[in-house]
Structure 1
C-alpha cells in the first residue's frame, strides 16, 4: 500500500457499502478522502448519504441490505449475478483502490477476486474476530491488502495472522458530546421536559422492522400503560423505513400518547430519552455514546435460526 495516490491527483476510488450504517461510514470516508484528493471520483455501491457527498452509485444499496441465512439464500442467484457484474465493472474501471465497507459476506468475496486480479483492496470495519472465529482474520487478509479497524484491540489480532490492519477510531465518537444535553434534545424535538421518554429503534432494514416492529411497539404500549405520561419516540433510519413505520403505526389506535415518528434524528431521540429500546447493531454503540440505558433485542428468521442452531453457530 506504499504506492498510494499522490495528493493533488484525481484518483478513481471505489467504495462498496451494503446497509445504512455503511452508507454513513462511506459518507464520512468520502469527505475525509476528498480533503486530500479534491478531484477524486468515487464510484461503486452506496446510499443517499454517500451520494450527497458526490458519490456515483452503480447499484441501489438495498440490493445488499439483507441479514440472516434464510434471506441471503433466497436472494443468492441475484446476489451472485450482481457480484459477477460488479467485479467485471471494477476490473474494467481499474480504480486506484477498492474499499469494501462492512458487509463482509458480500464484500470479502468481491475483494478477493479483485486482489487476485491485481487491484488494491481495503476492508473497512473488521468482522468481530475478537468475539468469535478469530481464524477468519487470515481469510480476510487473503481478500484485503489492509483492514481498517474501528476498535483499538483489533489490529493486534490481525498481526498474529500476518495481516496489515490499522486502527482508525470509530466515526461515531465524533457525533456525540462527552455529556449529552437531554434538555436541549427534548426542546429540539418539542418533547416535554418533565415526561418520561422512551426511544424505540427497530432497525434499519425492512426485514428487521418486519420482525421487530410489532414486538417493539407492543412493548412500548405496555410500558405506556404502566407509566402514565410516557412519550415514545421512533426515529426512522431512512425514507424507506419511514414509510414502513407509518404503515405499521396506522394499524394501531392513535391518541395523545401515540408515538412520535421522526424522519431520521436518531441521535437526538437517544439523547432526549430516558431509556432506549433498540435492535442489536450499530445503534447499540450509539446509545452507549449517548450514555443512555438500553434494552437490546433481536429476532432472526425461523429458517436462519434453525440453520445456525444446527451448525452450532449460536452463542448466548
Structure 2
C-alpha cells in the first residue's frame, strides 16, 4: 500500500474508448497530486503515452459481442488471473476498472487481497437492459463513476456509492479541431461538400458497415449530390478500411489519428456513423448525422429479447427520457441499407440538418459535470477522495 501522499493505483482499460478515458484520468490524477501518484495496470497506446507500462497488450481484451467472445474465452480468463495476481503482489490503494464490465467483474473477483478499494468508471447500461446488474456491481465494487446524470439513482437504490462525473466526450479535443485546417491539409476545397463516414472502431463493425455505407454514398450520388468523403479510422484497421474503400465511386480521404478524426468531423456537412460514442462526438462537432448499426444476427436476436429501449444513440435515448423527440435518425439491422441511409444524408444536407443541430443542445448540456470542472478532473477528484 502507498503512503497517504503518494497513492498507488491499478487501472484497467479493455478497449480504445476506455484507453482514452484512462489516459485523461491519469493526466488529471498527476495534476491534482503534483505528480505524486504511482500508476500500474493495463491500457492501450494513449495510457502508455501517459507513462503506464501495460501488464499485457490491451488489444487482447478488445472483443465485443456475445458470440464473438467465445473463441477467446480461455485466453481472457488467463489474463484475468494474471491481472489479479499483479494486484495481489502490488497491493495498491485502489483498482480502477474502466468500462469493459465483463472483464472487470471477472478480474476483481479474482483479487484475493482484502482492503483494496474497487472503483468502476463508466456505468453499465442497466437502464437499457439487464437491470439486475446493479446487484452484481454492488457486490463487486465499492464506488461507481458514471458518465450520465440520470444513472446514479439506479445504483444508489441498492446502496452502491455512485458519483456522476460528466461525459468524457466534452474534453475529447473537438473544441480545438478546425475543419478549415483539415480541408487545407487534405486538399479539399473550402466550398466542397464533405461527408464523414465512420464505420466503427472494431474489425467486425467495419466489416459489416462498409458495404451499406458504400451503397449510401452511391445513392447520394444518384440524387445529384457532388461531394467527397472522409473516413477516419484507427491504425489497426487502416489496411482493412483501405481495401474495402478501394473501389468507392467518390474521392475518399482515409485518415488516422485523433486530430484528423476530429478535423474530419468539423469539416463535414453530414455524417453516416456506426452507433457508439461517435454520435456524441458528431453532435459536439455540430455535424448532422445518421446513426447505423449491424451486428451478428444471432447476437441481435438475443439482445433484442433483453433490451428495454428502442434507440441505439445516446442522444436519442436521453431525449426520450426527457420527453423530447429523438433528433437523430437511426438505421439498425435490416434498416441499415444504402437507400435509407442515402435518403437520410440527402435530407441532412438541407434544412433537416439545421433542425437536428438545434435539437441536440439540451442533451449536450446535461452531460457537463458539476462545479465547472472537466469530466476527467471530476473523476480524479472522486478517486482521490475515495482513498483519502
TM-score, scaled relative to structure 2: 0.72
- Classify 1:69/1:93 alpha carbon distance in 2 versus 1 (closer, same or farther; 3 Å): same
Answer yes or no: is the 8 Å Cα contact 1:66–1:207 preserved in 2.
no
Counterpart position of 2:251: 258
Secondary structure at 1:6 match in 2:
coil
CA RMSD of aligned residues (A): 2.5
Residues 296 and 49 (structure 1), Cα distance of their counterparts in 2 relative to 1, 3 Å cut: same
**SS in structure 2 of the partner of residue 216 of structure 1:** helix
Q: Is the 8 A contact 2:19 2:45 kept in 1?
A: yes
What's the counterpart of residue 134 of structure 1? 131
In structure 1, runs of 5+ residues without a counterpart are none
Q: Taking structure 1 as reference, are residues 131 and 5 closer, same or farther at Cα in structure 2, changes over 3 Å only?
A: farther
Q: Which moved more, 1:75-84 or 1:178-187?
A: 178-187
**Relative contact order (alpha carbons < 8 A, sep ≥ 6): 1 or 2 greater?**
2
Decide which of 52, 76, 82 is 2:49's aligned counterpart.
Answer: 52
Alignment partner, residue 243 of structure 1: 239
C-alpha change, 1:160 and 1:146, in structure 2 (3 Å) is: same
Quick check: 1:18 aligned with 2:17? no
Compared with structure 1, are the counterparts of its residues 227 and 51 closer, same or farther at alpha carbon in structure 2 (3 Å cutoff)?
farther
Following the alignment from structure 1 to structure 2, what is the Cα–Cα distance between the partners of residues 90 and 224?
Answer: 55
1:232-282 deviations in whole A, cap 9, x for unaligned? 00001x2102222122223x15x7x32111112222111111111111111
State how many pairs are aligned. Answer: 307
Separation in structure 2 between the aligned mates of residue 292 and residue 5 of structure 1, nearest angstrom:
48
Written as runs of structure 1 = structure 2, the 5 A alignment for 1:1-316 is 6-7=4-5, 9=6, 11-37=7-33, 38-114=35-111, 117-175=114-172, 182-236=179-233, 238-250=234-246, 252=247, 257-264=250-257, 265-309=260-304, 312-313=306-307, 315-316=309-310
Cα offset, 1:131, TM superposition: 3.0
TM-score (norm 1): 0.88
Structure 1 pair 143/294, CA: closer, same or farther in 2 (3 Å)? same
- Distance (whole Å) between structure 2 residues aligned to residue 101 and residue 4 of structure 1: 22
Q: Secondary structure at the match of 2:39?
A: strand
Contact kept? 2:8, 2:93, Cα under 8 Å: yes
Distance 1:6 1:191 in 2: 54
Cα distance in 2 for residues equivalent to 1:108 and 1:194: 51
Gaps of 5+ in 2: 311-388
Q: Distance in 1 between matches of 2:221 and 2:75?
A: 43
For residue 314 of structure 1, report the CA deviation from its aligned partner.
Answer: 7.2
Q: Can you list the C-alpha shifts for 1:71-123, whole angstroms capped at 9, x where unaligned?
A: 01221122112212221222122122111100111112222443874321110
CA distance in 2, matches of 1:179, 1:28: 16
The whole-number CA distance in structure 1 between the counterparts of 2:3 and 2:292 is 44
Instruction: Name the CA shift for 1:88/1:171 in 2 (closer, same or farther; >3 Å).
Output: same
